[in-house]
Structure 1
C-alpha cells in the first residue's frame, strides 16, 4: 500500500452494519408498485466456478497489527532492541522503567557487547546491583498501550534469558501489577545461577484484573545481572499454541472463513535497505523483510525496523503465518521482496549477487513449506513442530513496485528459478500501486506478453469509484493472466463505504473466471497506534470490534457459493455532474509560491482573479496546515515539512472555464498541487505535480476523506523554476497544460450504479444465493426472475443496513447482520430491498 495514500486524510474508526429481515414494516410483502429494478437469471447459461479461495485476508504488520496485536506477547521491547535506528524516539529501555523496592539500589543500562545472547539478539539489559540486604532493584514494563490486559483467574507464562556473576546466584522476583502498583498476582521467585545464558520460566495466575497491567522484574543481591527476552504470554492463545496468537483477534479472522492469507505485507516486504545479514560484521537494521530472519527459536530471530515507523520482533514469523493459515483452513500466500522498492521509494538493486541470494531464499522458502524432513529447510520446519508439509501453492514476488522495467526483469528471474525446481508453484506478479496509469498499463502489458499466471492489483478509492466500476473486470481478457486483488478498500470506515465495497464485490464474483483471489486491506489496527485507515478489525488492550466492512466481508466470505448463476439487472443509474466549485492551492512536504490565479470562461469573461497585490483575503484554509503568507506579491506556503495543506477561493458555477496560474517550488521533497472543483463536502480534483518524492504527476479525485488517482505519469518539478499551469474544464472533460504543452486529459463521466446484484449457487445446500446491494437512500422495489427454477416458498434472508454514515466503534457496534426467514418466494417474485442495505437471500431449489 502506498504511504502517500496512508496520509491522505482518511477517516478514523470502524463502521457498523445492521440487517433488516422480512418482518420489517413495508418490506415483507410484495408491493403493488411497479419495480424500480429487475433481476433476471439466465435459464440456460452456466457461469464460472468460484474457488473456495476466492476471498481471503491480507495481513501486514501495520497499525501494530503483529507486535502489540495479533501476536500475543504482552511485553514491549522484550529483548531491549528498540534503537534510534528504528525510530528517533526509541532507546534500549523504551517501555521499561527502572526502579527499586525495599531500599534497593542499582543502575540499569543496555549493552551490545561480547556478552550478548547471540549475534541476532544483540542488545540486552545490564543491571548493576548494589542492593542492601532485602532490597530489590529492576525494571517494569508498560506494554504496548497504556499497559496490557490482565484477566482475573487467567494463567500467564513468564520467561526470561538471564545470567549472573554473583557467586551464589541472583534472586529474581516477578510481579504483575496495576498502574498504582497494586499486585495482580502472587509474586514468583526465581534464582539466576551462573554467568552463562539460560532460559528461566514460571507460571503466574492472576488474582485480579485490569486493562493496564505492568510486569515488574526485580533482583536482589549484588553483582551484575544480565537479562534478555523478557516475555509474558497469556496461556489462552489461539488453539493454545505457545508463542501464539491473541485469541479474540484470531477468532475474528477465523470467523471470516478466509480462503487464503496473504502475508507478511505490503510495503514492509520490499522497502528498507537491500543489504543482507552478515553475522561476521554489523547486523544491518532497517532492511527489507526476509523470511529467514523470522524462523527458528524466537530468541535467535532478528528484530527489524518496520516501514511503518516502529520495531518488529519477528516473534510472529513465517512458521506462525503458515501455522495460522493451516489452523483456519486458508491457503498461505507469502510475498517476497523483488529487490525493487515500492511505496514511494523507487529504487532497484544493481547487485546481481544480492538478487541471486534472494532468489535462492525464495527457493529455500518453498522447501521450508513443502520439503521433506530430510531436506535442510524441511528439517527446520519439522524441528519447529510441523513435520508435515504446509502445502504451499502460490508465491507472490514484489509489492507495488513503481519501476516497471526493473521490477519485471527481476520477476522473470524469480519465476524462471522457481519453475525450474518447483513447476507446480503459481508465481504471482503485480501491476504497481494503482488501478490505472502508465505503470499499471506497462506492467499489465508485460505480464500478458510473458504469460504470467496471476497479477496482483491494489487500489484504495472513493465509494463513488467502487459504485461506478462494478463492471471493471467484465472486459478483462478471459485468456490472459488471472487477477489477485490483493489490497482494496473504500477510503473510510462508514457503512456507505462498506456498501460501495459490497456493490463492487458482486462484480468480482460475476467475473470469478478472471478474479481468482480478493482481500480487503488492511486487516488490523491497534486504536492507539494507527498508521493507516480504514481497517477491517480494530482493537485495544482487551477488546476488539469489527468495522462495517468486516461485517460485509464476513457476509460475502461465508456465503460465496460454488458457481456463478448468470443474471442481468436493469434499473436507474446516476449520471455524472459537470465539474464546478472553488479553486485551491496546496503543497505536500514542499514550500511553494503561487501567483496570477485567474478563472475565465472560454470567451474570456473573468470569473475569478487574484494577483495577491492586495493580500490573500479571498483565500480560506480547507486544511489549516503549513504557513501561508503573501511574500513579494505572491502567495507562499513556506513550511517545507507540512503535508496536505490546502487553501481555496472562489465558487465557480460555470460548467466551462479555464484556470490559469503560476507556481514555483521553493524547497522540499515534492512539487506543488492545484485543486479545482472543490466542494463544501470535501470533494475535489487535485493536480499533483512532482508527487511521490518528485517522481510522478497525477490527477487525484477526492471524496469521503480520501483521494484516488484519475490520471498519472512520470513527472519531476525543478526547484526555483516558475511553471505556467492551465486547466481547461469543459463539463466533465478536463485538459491540463504545463508550460503551454498538453500534459494530459481525462473525462470523468463514470455513471454511479447504486444497485448491484449477483446470483451464485451453493452445491452443498442446493441453494441459490441472491445477493443485492442497494447503496442509496431510497428503497429498491425489485422483481426477481429465477429463470423458471423451482424453489421453496421460504428463504433465509440476511440484511445489513443502517445510517450510511454510521460506524462501529469501541463503545458501540450498532449495526450487525440480522437473519430472518421470509415468505413469498417463487420462480418470479417482487421484493423491496431496504435503503442503504446489503441483502443475501438463500433460496432452496426443489425438484
Structure 2
C-alpha cells in the first residue's frame, strides 16, 4: 500500500468515527460540526405503552386485489357470472374463447335458466356438442394479466361442476397450454355422467413454466353439456389452505407482522344498492357488501358488482379473511355497512326493516366468528373447517359517510344492539372522508358525546401535509375516543412520499395513548388493473414487489417497541410561502362556461384580465382534456364526460390580489372548479364547487398530481345559474365569496418539519429504538442525548435512503433497507443522518 493510500484511508476512518462521536487516539481532531438538530430523551421510559396492534393492514378489493390477486384462483370468470351490470365490456364469456380440435363442432352460450347450479350462482356455460368421432369442442380461459403463472413440477387442483344429457356420459379433456398453444402439462381426462350437477376434481402437474398459461376444457361426443365453477388452484397456497391465498402476496403481508387486518373495505362496503336478497328473482347485483354472501361453499356464494368497476366472485370471503388474520397473528377488524352510502354517493336508507336486518347481520357475524359450534352461525364456521372461535374483539360500522346525522343515527342503533348482546365487542365509529371539515367536526363531536370507544379517521394527502402535521394528535383529548387511523397515505409511490409518511408515523407513536391502530391504504394493486394509487404492494400474474412505502412500513411495523421514551428535538423548519402563480378554470364530468376573469391588487390595479372578446389565446391546457372553445363571448368546456380539464393563464407574482369571474354550469354531474396559485410544478389550489356528484364544495391543494382537502362543506350548483366568484388572497390567507357572500376562508401557514424523531423501548431485548426521519436534500448533523442512560458502544442500524423521486417497480426495487452495525454510541453522541432517509438505531441499554 502506498503512503498516500494509507493516509487517505486513515483520514476516511477518522471522519467516519467523528460522525458517531468516536475519536482516533493520537490524532488531532478537527472541531466537530455544530449540530443541525438535537434529540434529547427523558431519563425514564414514562411515555405511553404501544399496543401490539398499533400497526396493521387494510385490505380492500380495489385494483383487482382479490380475484386475480390475493385470492389464488387462476381462472378468470370461473362461474360465467361476468355481466354488463358489472362492467359494460363484460359478457358471460369474458376471458373465455370457444374452440374446437380434431374437427370438433358445437356452440357455446352462457345461460341463466332453471337448469342453473343454484339460486345465487345463476349463469352457466351450455355447450351444444355436435362432434364427429374423435372431435372435441369447448372453451379456453386466458386468466388474468398475460395468463396463468405456472411453475414446472408444481401441482394444480382442477375442478368443475358439470352435467350431461348424453346417455353414455360426456368425455372431458383438461389441458394447460401457453399462448401459442403448446402443452404445459399432460392432459387429464374425465367423464361427466348424469344430468345433475356434480363436482369433478382432477390434479394437473405443469411440465413447463410459463407466465402466459391457458386452461382448455374440451368435450367429445354429442348432446348438451353444462359447465359451471371451472377452477384451477395452485396446490402451494399460503399455509397450504384449499380455496386459499396466493403465497407470495400473503407472505409479503405476513412479513409486515401486522397487528390487525381491516377488511373488506373501504368504499365497496357501504356503496351499491340497499336491496335485500330475493330468492325468487335472484339477488340484486351492485348491492351493498353483505358478509353472508361470502360464506359457505364457494359454489353457493353470491356474485356482486364491485364499486371499483369490476366483478367480485366472493371466493375470498369472511371465513378466509378471519382465517388469514389468525394465520398471521393479527386481530381481525371487519367493517360493516351502516346503510348510509359514502364515497360520493350520499344516500341513506329509509327502510326500518332493512336497517333491522343489517343490525341482525352484525349480531350474526359476531356469532359466526365467536359463537360455539352448537350455535347457528358457529356451526357454519365449524362446517367450513374452524370449530374453534376466531376471537373477534372489534367491529367497525360504516366507512367515510358524508351524511353525519343519518350515519350516526344508524350507527347508534348498531352499537346499542351489539352492546346488549356482546358487551365486550368494541364498536368503531368514523369521522367521514376527510381529515377536517364540517362532517369531520360533527362526527367527532357526536362520537365523543356518545362515549364511543374508537373513531376511524381517513385521509390521503400530499407529502407537505404529512411533513407539516406531525403534531396532529398532540392536542387530542386524552380522555376522549381513541383513534383508529384506518386509511392514510401520501398520494404517490415515490420515496419522498414514504419519507413523509415515516415522519408522520413518529407522531403516531409519540401519541400512542390516543392513536391505537393505524393502517396504510390501499394494500394491493394489480399493475394492469389500477383504480387507485398509491398502493403498498404491487403485482402481476407471477411477480410481486413492495413499494418504497412497503419498505418503510415494514421497518416501523417490525420495530415498534413496547413503550414511548419521551423525547424532544430542536432544529430548523421550513416556513410557508405566499400563494402566487397562474389562475385556472376547470370542470369535472360537467360542461360549464366562464367569463370576465380578472385579477386585481387590493388597490384596484389590474394584473390579468380576459373577457374572451378576442378569443382564448391567453389560456393553455395543463393537460389536453375536454372541449374548450369561445361561445357567445365566453369560454366554454362542453364535454360532460371529461375529467380534470384544467386550463391556466397569467402569472401572478403579487402576494395580495383578488380573482373575480363568472361561472355557469351548463350540464353534467358536478359543478365547476376555479384554480389559483398554479405553479409549473403542478402545485395549485382550486375551489371545487358542486363536487362529489354535486353534493359538496371544497378547496383542494394539489401537489405532485395529488390533491388534499383544505376546506369542505355541503354545496350544490344549479344548472343554468350564473355565479359570481371572488377569491381574495392575502399572502397565505384566502377568503372565498360566492354571489357576494363569504363562503369560507383558510390560512395555509403550515410549517413544514423535514426532520422528525421518536424513541421507543423494546422490553424483550432491552433496547432503545431511536427512529429518525430526515426528509430533505441535505444531511442532518444531530446530537443525540439519551438522558444519561448507560448503553452499549455499538448498535444495529437500519437505513432506507435514496433519490426522493425514486420508486420500486417490477423491473427494479432500488429502495431497500440496509442494516449494519455501527460504533461510537454512548449516552450522548453525534450522528449525521443521510439526506432523504429513515434511520433506526437499536441501542442496547446496560445495567
Question: Above 0.5 in TM-score?
Answer: yes
Matches within 5 A, 1:396-545: 396-545=396-545
Contact persistence 1:22–1:28 (CA under 8 A)? no
Q: CA shift at 1:443, angstroms? A: 0.2
Q: CA shift at 1:148, angstroms? A: 1.4
Aligned to 1:68: 68
Matches within 5 A, 1:645-660: 645-660=645-660
Q: Distance between the aligned counterparts of 1:118 and 1:723, measured in 2?
A: 56
SS at match of 1:356: helix
Q: CA shift at 1:302, angstroms? A: 0.6
Contact persistence 2:607–2:652 (CA under 8 A)? yes
SS at match of 1:338: coil
Cα 1:45–1:195 shift into 2, 3 Å: closer
Aligned to 2:36: 36
Q: Distance between the aligned counterparts of 1:25 and 1:790, measured in 2?
A: 20
Contact persistence 1:27–1:833 (CA under 8 A)? no
Aligned to 2:749: 749
CA deviation vs aligned residue, 1:536-555 (integer Å, no higher than 9, x gap): 00000100000000000000
Q: Distance between the aligned counterparts of 2:14 and 2:143, measured in 1?
A: 47
Aligned to 2:233: 233
Matches within 5 A, 1:366-377: 366-377=366-377
Q: Distance between the aligned counterparts of 2:14 and 2:472, measured in 1?
A: 32
Cα 1:464–1:26 shift into 2, 3 Å: farther
CA deviation vs aligned residue, 1:536-581 (integer Å, no higher than 9, x gap): 0000010000000000000000000000000000000000000000
CA deviation vs aligned residue, 1:315-374 (integer Å, no higher than 9, x gap): 000000000000000000000000000000000000000000000000000000000001
Q: CA shift at 1:281, angstroms? A: 2.6
Please list every run of 5 or more consecutive structure 2 residues that lacks an aligned counterpart in the other structure.
Answer: 1-12, 23-30
Q: CA shift at 1:28, angstroms? A: 5.2
Q: Distance between the aligned counterparts of 1:293 and 1:763, measured in 2?
A: 44
Q: CA shift at 1:278, angstroms? A: 1.4
Contact persistence 2:492–2:533 (CA under 8 A)? yes
Q: CA shift at 1:22, angstroms? A: 13
CA deviation vs aligned residue, 1:734-765 (integer Å, no higher than 9, x gap): 00000111110000000000000000000000
Cα 1:462–1:22 shift into 2, 3 Å: farther
Cα 1:695–1:108 shift into 2, 3 Å: same
Structure-1-length-normalised TM-score:
0.97
Aligned to 1:262: 262
SS at match of 1:436: coil
Matches within 5 A, 1:285-684: 285-684=285-684
SS at match of 2:368: helix
CA deviation vs aligned residue, 1:421-458 (integer Å, no higher than 9, x gap): 00000000000000000000000000000000000000
Q: CA shift at 1:86, angstroms? A: 1.0
Cα 1:27–1:158 shift into 2, 3 Å: farther
Contact persistence 1:22–1:821 (CA under 8 A)? no
Contact persistence 1:796–1:820 (CA under 8 A)? yes
Q: CA shift at 1:815, angstroms? A: 1.4
1:725 aligns with 2:710: no
Contact persistence 1:689–1:697 (CA under 8 A)? yes
Contact persistence 1:590–1:641 (CA under 8 A)? yes
Q: Distance between the aligned counterparts of 1:793 and 1:112, measured in 2?
A: 73
Q: Distance between the aligned counterparts of 1:662 and 1:432, measured in 2?
A: 32
Q: Distance between the aligned counterparts of 2:560 and 2:89, measured in 1?
A: 46
Aligned to 2:4: none
Matches within 5 A, 1:37-56: 37-44=37-44, 46-56=46-56
1:273 aligns with 2:273: yes
SS at match of 1:412: helix
Aligned to 1:202: 202
Q: Distance between the aligned counterparts of 1:27 and 1:336, measured in 2?
A: 53
Q: CA shift at 1:45, angstroms? A: 6.1
CA deviation vs aligned residue, 1:399-427 (integer Å, no higher than 9, x gap): 00000000000000000000000000000
Q: CA shift at 1:145, angstroms? A: 1.1
Aligned to 2:788: 788
Matches within 5 A, 1:688-767: 688-767=688-767
SS at match of 1:186: coil
Q: Distance between the aligned counterparts of 1:57 and 1:22, measured in 2?
A: 44
Q: Distance between the aligned counterparts of 1:26 and 1:492, measured in 2?
A: 37
SS at match of 1:724: strand
Contact persistence 2:785–2:829 (CA under 8 A)? yes
CA deviation vs aligned residue, 1:564-611 (integer Å, no higher than 9, x gap): 000000000000000000000000000000001000000011100101
Q: Distance between the aligned counterparts of 1:335 and 1:23, measured in 2?
A: 54
Contact persistence 2:20–2:829 (CA under 8 A)? no
Q: Distance between the aligned counterparts of 2:664 and 2:685, measured in 1?
A: 20
Q: Distance between the aligned counterparts of 2:683 and 2:583, measured in 1?
A: 12
Aligned to 1:77: 77
The worse-fitting range, judged by mean Cα deviation, of 578-587 and 277-286 is 277-286
Q: Distance between the aligned counterparts of 1:29 and 1:835, measured in 2?
A: 19
CA deviation vs aligned residue, 1:816-840 (integer Å, no higher than 9, x gap): 0000000000011110000000000
Aligned to 1:91: 91
SS at match of 2:227: strand
Contact persistence 2:19–2:830 (CA under 8 A)? no
Structure-2-length-normalised TM-score:
0.97
Q: Distance between the aligned counterparts of 1:382 and 1:119, measured in 2?
A: 24
SS at match of 2:646: strand
Q: CA shift at 1:85, angstroms? A: 1.1
Q: Distance between the aligned counterparts of 1:558 and 1:571, measured in 2?
A: 28
Aligned to 2:6: none
Q: Distance between the aligned counterparts of 2:824 and 2:196, measured in 1?
A: 77
1:169 aligns with 2:185: no
Q: CA shift at 1:280, angstroms? A: 2.3
Contact persistence 1:583–1:677 (CA under 8 A)? yes
Aligned to 1:8: none
CA deviation vs aligned residue, 1:184-208 (integer Å, no higher than 9, x gap): 0000000000000000011000001
1:141 aligns with 2:138: no
SS at match of 1:326: helix
Q: Distance between the aligned counterparts of 1:233 and 1:414, measured in 2?
A: 38
Q: Distance between the aligned counterparts of 2:84 and 2:816, measured in 1?
A: 44
Cα 1:182–1:753 shift into 2, 3 Å: same
Contact persistence 1:27–1:834 (CA under 8 A)? no
Q: Distance between the aligned counterparts of 2:612 and 2:326, measured in 1?
A: 64
Q: CA shift at 1:146, angstroms? A: 1.7
CA deviation vs aligned residue, 1:256-312 (integer Å, no higher than 9, x gap): 000000000100000000011111233211101100000011001011000000001
CA deviation vs aligned residue, 1:72-100 (integer Å, no higher than 9, x gap): 00000000001111111111101000000
The worse-fitting range, judged by mean Cα deviation, of 42-51 and 152-161 is 42-51
SS at match of 2:819: strand
Q: Distance between the aligned counterparts of 2:798 and 2:328, measured in 1?
A: 24
Q: CA shift at 1:43, angstroms? A: 1.3
Q: CA shift at 1:623, angstroms? A: 2.1
Please list every run of 5 or more consecutive structure 1 residues that lacks an aligned counterpart in the other structure.
Answer: 1-20
Contact persistence 1:23–1:822 (CA under 8 A)? no
Cα 1:566–1:179 shift into 2, 3 Å: same
Q: Distance between the aligned counterparts of 2:280 and 2:620, measured in 1?
A: 59
Q: CA shift at 1:24, angstroms? A: 7.6
Q: Distance between the aligned counterparts of 1:534 and 1:561, measured in 2?
A: 27
